[in-house]
Chains A and B, each alone.
Chain A
């Protein structure tokens, strides 16, 4: 088959796949229903953009049924986001970002702890931290609004990807809503949210490229330029490009797996884009150090990746884990029933992300974007497609207006958000410390470290587990919190004078029972203990602010 014929064949196949998922159909043998779908106006925004838009047509697009579904999706996002589940790491990210904004200087050594002070450390997510630091200037309201907005953009992008892949906005919407609960396990105010967004945008670009829209791929190098400065997941993005490239080197079909070969022009463009993406990686304040960080994490931080919660295996005893499992089972069952055909790259990425998500729960952020479009493509077989002719623009507009009103009415108050923060972090304990300074080093719970840094205190440990693992602090922390034999002497080793701990921790109970320690403050969030007989004299300065 000549190249021209191949390209025409693929283009024809692609058009079929836009509306009918991944099963190969011949238009000649298609039912009238499917032919009508093929001839139905394209629903994806890039296709609409090709035509000259009047204001009226623009309004019709804004109040179209797919857009209304997007608004409903936002309701789901808003519902989750308003709970404002704060990750402990958010605080030190904000602090680093604000320090960069204030000093215009990129840190190269640690300045936030007393255990690894001065040791080499880089702000490997500096751009994300700067954005967070900027937003945080306006307080918790701005942070929550930003979280909801960013989560909304991510879910819209996911909805767009699923719709693009399946050719059915209803299927795309349904899967996006269902997968929200799993996706939200990874949603928190940290730079990884940007990584999540970039991954989905990359997949949209690659999927569009598969469908013959070539210019979109040139957006990848600037995306990677931002990505490498924002989050270490850029390495996954590079892997995705490589998988797409390799999967199209040769065309074949193996059962329900199909490898669609790239044309020569497509391969050249992919090669060029990949090289450009690699070329932008050193464009960071730290040069190539930033690009090397993911490898350091993968191979030189065994403690970090074995004990930190998000690096642990998928917990199948909680609802999120059960839902993840249910999605896998549904996929397998649908595949058994209907024998869908998958492109090699999407199947490889799905398998890889499933394995990674099982091994490390944090990689559910990879599973979601690789799985959602495939499930949408499956469901598209049974869900009737959107018909523009039947659209009810006024009804859509009313629903969207109701969404806006609802979001405005139910937006959380500052007090609510501040209560949420103080439910999890030692807000009142930190105020107590400001009013009643305690001299000497303070041992703190891992989850409190970021908040204490943001409050201006020097910490024993915080969420930057990598730097503490390199310094040997993480292993000491683990020995102490697990109360291994002889571990209480670690407090003497570090000359710790006080401890700020969670009330329900084993170490808290141990110290409360010991005559060498006494509790001077306690609330539902944190307990502050000091030595009954201080090690240091009162004239020694507090290594805090």
Chain B
């Protein structure tokens, strides 16, 4: 039996009311599902490391505040440099999810959430690849090849939710193209969750729009073909699109949240030049090399085999490729858009799954063994807290509290989220757009990169202490200056205090900054 026929049979039996429990068990312990276990293992290995993005902390703080106050912020409460500036929790759904995981399970809860989201994303990609190619082995091979790029983006931020939702959206659209329209009715609900979780919803809407547009034509030119939608399909697509647009407004901020991705796209020049994930694709790193290898492999396969592609999938793939080259973070787009291509190319050579040769008991044993291994090797709370302390200034914050270190404190960009979560008012954190709007990001860059007049920034903001990464250039400079004293250091951070008063401030602008500095001494609700 051909694999796609098996899949259809399984789907048909799933649809029918007469599905037997035995059939369900056979499916649950089938070889394709065993292959899926591999991805759970990969996600587990990543989650074990708990390599946290610095932004996770301000997301957590925001989520905790929303859960505690039942109020959605409209101004910044966390910094002393842009305090009171207009700001919205544009990923509040994701923030609340993170905070709930922390509240329920502590740091282990966060790790389990990372594992769950990672597994869900990889399995969804596997499913997308399988549906696109009609072969589970080809789907598995495609998802495996793309995994290094996917896991490079795994970090505990709402963008993982966005990633998962994008893959699910692609599954719905591909199934719709394959003549299975029912799942597309879930698209508006997906958008309802998406608009409140992460700004990548606009990509989902764009994908739907591209599918709709591409089906308005019918042609074949070389390796590109456009298949026209039937009137029923076009009607359904239009309705789904309209429903999705309507549901976009169902969020605490109304149209402001809808407008946010466009505001980002208009360009935050400074953010896009200094924040790592906005930098172009870097071929010095493993993920970049895999990306390059995959692109060139695709070009070779296309030239040699002359595959034919549908207009909509080609348009989305080209967009994903271009976006990933320009900004590293858009590998998130490239992978789901490219997965169907890769799976269909590999399907040329990968043999189909044969149900008759499947060994359910062996599969079940392997899956149980993998699950047991994961459970037994799951890191302890102490292990996870140690990993956090290796990345963030845990001890330094305790020192600051215990020794009443004077503020305001200038902090490394990397530390901002964690300091904010621990109740410290920050100079800057990962909400780069907010700081760029307030002019603070430019000042930060001038100081952090030690450009002309950079050290004057410390005087302008009346900074009394600096919490920096040990190998930061500013740390080397402050160590050599007589009016700065290093009072604390560990592997993760170093703390300097300013000795003696700053000179008086002559300009009105500098007086405004002095007001900012005084706000830094107001206590935040601390988190222990």
* Interfacial residues, chain A to chain B (CB-CB below 8 A): 254-257, 306, 312-317, 321-322, 325, 329, 332-333, 335-339, 342, 347, 351, 354-355, 358-359, 482-488, 503-510, 512-516
User: In residues 472-494 of chain B, which contact A (Cβ within 8 Å)?
Assistant: 473-477, 479-482
**Is B314 in contact with A255, judged by CB distance below 8 angstroms?**
no
10 interchain pairs (CB within 8 A)?
Answer: A316-B280, A316-B325, A325-B322, A337-B221, A483-B473, A484-B471, A487-B476, A503-B452, A509-B452, A509-B454
**Is A336 in contact with B473, judged by CB distance below 8 angstroms?**
no
| Known A322-B326, A359-B283, A485-B475; contact A339-B296, beta-carbon cutoff 8 A | no
**Is B477 in contact with A306, judged by CB distance below 8 angstroms?**
no
B476: contacting residue among A339, A347, A488, CB under 8 A: A488
B450 interface hit (Cβ, 8 Å): yes
User: In residues 426-474 of chain B, which contact A (Cβ within 8 Å)?
Assistant: 449-455, 470-471, 473-474
**Is B481 in contact with A336, judged by CB distance below 8 angstroms?**
no
A313: contacting residue among B284, B306, B322, CB under 8 A: B284
**Is A483 in contact with B452, judged by CB distance below 8 angstroms?**
no
> Contacts of B314 on A, CB cut-off 8 Å?
336
**Is B477 in contact with A483, judged by CB distance below 8 angstroms?**
yes
Interface mask (B280-304 → A, CB under 8 Å = 1, otherwise 0): 1111100010001000100110111
B222: contacting residue among A306, A339, A488, A510, CB under 8 A: A339
**Is A254 in contact with B477, judged by CB distance below 8 angstroms?**
no
B223 interface hit (Cβ, 8 Å): yes
**Is A506 in contact with B450, judged by CB distance below 8 angstroms?**
yes
> Contacts of B452 on A, CB cut-off 8 Å?
503-504, 508-509
Closest to B454 in A: A509
**Is A306 in contact with B283, judged by CB distance below 8 angstroms?**
no
**Is A313 in contact with B473, judged by CB distance below 8 angstroms?**
no
**Is A255 in contact with B304, judged by CB distance below 8 angstroms?**
yes
**Is B475 in contact with A313, judged by CB distance below 8 angstroms?**
no
> Contacts of A325 on B, CB cut-off 8 Å?
322, 325-326
* Interfacial residues, chain B to chain A (CB-CB below 8 A): 221-224, 272-273, 279-284, 288, 292, 296, 299-300, 302-306, 309, 314, 318, 321-322, 325-326, 449-455, 470-471, 473-477, 479-482
**Is B303 in contact with A486, judged by CB distance below 8 angstroms?**
no
CA distance A485 to B477 in the complex (A): 9
CA distance A321 to B471 in the complex (A): 31
Closest to B282 in A: A313
Closest to A488 in B: B480
> Contacts of A255 on B, CB cut-off 8 Å?
303-306
CA distance A354 to B325 in the complex (A): 14
B280: contacting residue among A317, A332, A486, A516, CB under 8 A: A317
A482: contacting residue among B272, B304, B473, CB under 8 A: B473
**Is B480 in contact with A506, judged by CB distance below 8 angstroms?**
no
**Is A336 in contact with B302, judged by CB distance below 8 angstroms?**
yes
**Is A257 in contact with B303, judged by CB distance below 8 angstroms?**
yes
> Contacts of A313 on B, CB cut-off 8 Å?
280-284, 288
> Contacts of B479 on A, CB cut-off 8 Å?
485
CA distance A354 to B299 in the complex (A): 11
| Known A321-B280, A322-B326, A325-B322; contact A509-B470, beta-carbon cutoff 8 A | no
CA distance A354 to B283 in the complex (A): 13
> Contacts of B454 on A, CB cut-off 8 Å?
509
Closest 7 CB pairs between A and B?
A: A483-B473, A506-B450, A316-B280, A255-B304, A509-B450, A483-B476, A313-B283
CA distance A316 to B272 in the complex (A): 12
**Is B299 in contact with A351, judged by CB distance below 8 angstroms?**
yes
CA distance A312 to B284 in the complex (A): 8
Q: Report the minimum CB–CB distance from B114 to chain A (whole Å).
A: 29
Given contacts A256-B306, A358-B283, A510-B473, list 18 more A-B pairs with CB under 8 A: A255-B304, A316-B281, A317-B279, A317-B280, A337-B222, A337-B224, A338-B222, A351-B299, A354-B296, A358-B292, A483-B476, A484-B476, A485-B475, A485-B479, A488-B480, A504-B451, A506-B451, A510-B477
**Is B481 in contact with A514, judged by CB distance below 8 angstroms?**
yes
Q: Report the minimum CB–CB distance from A91 to chain B (whole Å).
A: 25
**Is A306 in contact with B325, judged by CB distance below 8 angstroms?**
no
CA distance A485 to B222 in the complex (A): 59
Q: Report the minimum CB–CB distance from A458 to chain B (whole Å).
A: 27
> Contacts of B309 on A, CB cut-off 8 Å?
336
> Contacts of A486 on B, CB cut-off 8 Å?
476
**Is A336 in contact with B284, judged by CB distance below 8 angstroms?**
no
**Is A506 in contact with B473, judged by CB distance below 8 angstroms?**
yes
> Contacts of A336 on B, CB cut-off 8 Å?
222-224, 302, 309, 314
**Is B306 in contact with A485, judged by CB distance below 8 angstroms?**
no
CA distance A337 to B314 in the complex (A): 12
Q: Report the minimum CB–CB distance from A330 to chain B (whole Å).
A: 11
CA distance A338 to B224 in the complex (A): 10
> Contacts of A316 on B, CB cut-off 8 Å?
280-281, 325-326
> Contacts of A321 on B, CB cut-off 8 Å?
280
> Contacts of A333 on B, CB cut-off 8 Å?
318
> Contacts of B322 on A, CB cut-off 8 Å?
325, 329
**Is A256 in contact with B304, judged by CB distance below 8 angstroms?**
yes
**Is B303 in contact with A483, judged by CB distance below 8 angstroms?**
no
| Known A509-B451, A513-B477; contact A257-B304, beta-carbon cutoff 8 A | yes
B303: contacting residue among A335, A358, A510, A514, CB under 8 A: A335
B304: contacting residue among A254, A329, A337, CB under 8 A: A254
> Contacts of B482 on A, CB cut-off 8 Å?
515
> Contacts of B283 on A, CB cut-off 8 Å?
313-314, 358-359
**Is A335 in contact with B302, judged by CB distance below 8 angstroms?**
yes
**Is A509 in contact with B455, judged by CB distance below 8 angstroms?**
yes
CA distance A406 to B422 in the complex (A): 67
**Among the interface residues A316, A509, A516, which one has the most CB atoms of the partner chain B within 10 A?**
A509
Q: Report the minimum CB–CB distance from B512 to chain A (whole Å).
A: 24
**Is B303 in contact with A306, judged by CB distance below 8 angstroms?**
no
Q: Report the minimum CB–CB distance from B468 to chain A (whole Å).
A: 11
Q: Report the minimum CB–CB distance from B276 to chain A (whole Å).
A: 13
Q: Report the minimum CB–CB distance from A155 to chain B (whole Å).
A: 27
**Is B303 in contact with A513, judged by CB distance below 8 angstroms?**
no
Q: Report the minimum CB–CB distance from B321 to chain A (whole Å).
A: 8
**Is A506 in contact with B304, judged by CB distance below 8 angstroms?**
no
| Known A255-B303, A256-B304, A488-B476; contact A351-B296, beta-carbon cutoff 8 A | yes
**Is B451 in contact with A514, judged by CB distance below 8 angstroms?**
no
> Contacts of A332 on B, CB cut-off 8 Å?
299, 302
Q: Report the minimum CB–CB distance from B259 to chain A (whole Å).
A: 25
> Contacts of A483 on B, CB cut-off 8 Å?
450, 473-474, 476-477
| Known A336-B309, A358-B292; contact A510-B450, beta-carbon cutoff 8 A | yes
Q: Report the minimum CB–CB distance from A329 to chain B (whole Å).
A: 6
> Contacts of B292 on A, CB cut-off 8 Å?
355, 358-359
CA distance A229 to B449 in the complex (A): 41
CA distance A84 to B407 in the complex (A): 50
| Known A306-B284, A336-B314, A504-B452; contact A342-B303, beta-carbon cutoff 8 A | yes
> Contacts of B474 on A, CB cut-off 8 Å?
483
Q: Report the minimum CB–CB distance from A191 to chain B (whole Å).
A: 27
Closest to A326 in B: B322
Q: Report the minimum CB–CB distance from B450 to chain A (whole Å).
A: 4
**Is B306 in contact with A339, judged by CB distance below 8 angstroms?**
yes
CA distance A306 to B283 in the complex (A): 11
CA distance A329 to B283 in the complex (A): 18
CA distance A505 to B453 in the complex (A): 11
**Is B451 in contact with A337, judged by CB distance below 8 angstroms?**
no
CA distance A513 to B456 in the complex (A): 10
Q: Report the minimum CB–CB distance from B481 to chain A (whole Å).
A: 6
> Contacts of B477 on A, CB cut-off 8 Å?
483, 509-510, 513-514
CA distance A513 to B482 in the complex (A): 10
Closest to B326 in A: A316
CA distance A519 to B302 in the complex (A): 61
Closest to B303 in A: A256
Q: Report the minimum CB–CB distance from A505 to chain B (whole Å).
A: 8
**Is B471 in contact with A485, judged by CB distance below 8 angstroms?**
yes
> Contacts of A314 on B, CB cut-off 8 Å?
280, 283
**Is B288 in contact with A347, judged by CB distance below 8 angstroms?**
no
Closest to A480 in B: B476
CA distance A487 to B473 in the complex (A): 10
